[in-house]
Structure 1
């Protein structure tokens, strides 16, 4: 690979047909606002559209899918037809994902591209 070759995300590679066929596969999708392809199309739209996957659950990190929820605030910011969950929890007793959140999913797809941390 040359030094000038572009970096391609797993999502862009899937869209180009370089990966397992996901058409019709029921997926639980863990994502956030930075989960986009090179053309800035969100992973949920790419998976449901060109790839043809069936998203059965949307899971968001601490502040929900759109990163707008406050600390331990319940989230429901996905499409009305897809169950949406925060993996952060609504209270201290709910910080562990429940098996029901993954009901019907054959795969868990995780696309968290921007995991910056400061200490």
Structure 2
């Protein structure tokens, strides 16, 4: 029983620790206008560090599912936000869902992630 309580406490706290360490290092901005969703991705690495990003966009609806992956470089940071790293426009029908995942890895191997979801409503 103590092991279960310890494991539960760890699982509840660990994600918040990771969030605190990487807060604001990679993020996604979604905006919707006339059935089109604009996706913009940003990064803020520590000054002097560069990296790479992978962007995955998943759209699912009654007509099926599509996945689009894109990768690129994050330029050397001066400590301010870099971006948009990528900009894309995706049509989003009324009964479809969009999930966007950004993964930024800096030149020391540290990983920062963000996920955003948008519904066609």
- With normalisation by structure 1, the TM-score equals 0.29
Q: Which is greater in Rg?
A: 2
- With normalisation by structure 2, the TM-score equals 0.28
Name the structure where strand makes up a greater proportion of residues. 2
